[in-house]
Amino acid sequence: MKKAIRTVEKKRLNTRFQEYGMAQLNQLKKTSGQKERNSRMIVQEVKSYINNHLQEELSVDFLAKRVYVSTAYLCHVFKKEENKTLVEYITQARLFYAAELLKDSNNSVSCVAASVGYNNYCYFTKVFKKIYGMSPSQYQQKCSLRIGK
């Protein structure tokens, strides 16, 4: 009789362990899904901030502090979500906006450089040329010829 009771108790205990394990697994799945959504939200918030503050100094450390995560975590989730580093994104966003400004205005190249966060004109020219294959002033001239200014 005692043996039968122990067997029943063991089965109940095993069932409880299985239920507990399943509950933990389900909680882990929920948490994992929330982390994915949260990482997307973090990246979107950072991108929005960057796009609205291109003229300001933007460091990875500063951006991580803005969204209350570590620098390493921000770099990791940004690369995972965007397939480029945060620094690459900042550079591309600044240069894209600079190209638009050069196309649509008669502003000087140094003024455009400053308006997209580059305080060093020579460095801006170097980075712009690397991406667009020509200097900012050449790009501006080319665009003004197309438009017929």
Same domain, 122 and 98: yes
Same domain, 13 and 69: yes
At 104 the pLDDT is 81
Q: Could you tell me where the DSSP H helices lie in 53-70?
A: 60-66
Same domain, 79 and 99: no
Residue 38: other Cβ atoms inside 10 A: 13
How much is the pTM? 0.72
Taking Cα atoms as reference points, which of 23, 131, 19 lies closest to residue 84? 131
Secondary element (H or E) of residue 37:
helix 2-52
Same domain, 57 and 127: no
Domain boundary residue, one of 83, 115, 138: 83
Question: Does 125 have pLDDT greater than 80?
Answer: yes
Question: Does 8 have pLDDT greater than 80?
Answer: no
Q: Are 79 and 85 in contact (CB under 8 A)?
A: yes
Same domain, 52 and 93: no
At 29 the pLDDT is 56
pLDDT digits (tens, 9 = 90+) for 65-99: 999 999 999 999 999 999 999 999 999 999 999 99
Same domain, 114 and 65: no
Same domain, 7 and 56: yes
If one counts the domains in the chain, the total is: 2
Same domain, 21 and 72: yes
Does 126 or 21 have the greater pLDDT score? 126
Same domain, 116 and 67: no
pLDDT band at 145 (very low <50, low <70, confident <90, very high): confident
Question: Does 23 have pLDDT greater than 80?
Answer: no
Mean local confidence (pLDDT), 22-36: 57
- Which residues touch 79 (CB under 8 Å, ≥6 apart)? 85, 86
Same domain, 13 and 53: yes
Question: Does 25 have pLDDT greater than 80?
Answer: no
Q: What is the DSSP letter of 1?
A: -
CA dihedral 86, 55, 120, 108 (to 10 degrees): 130
At 105 the pLDDT is 72
Cα(78)–Cα(80) distance, integer angstroms: 5
Q: What is the DSSP letter of 54?
A: T
Taking Cα atoms as reference points, which of 124, 135, 68 lies closest to residue 95? 124
At 59 the pLDDT is 95
Average pLDDT, the chain: 83
Same domain, 6 and 76: yes
Range of the domain at 105: 89-147
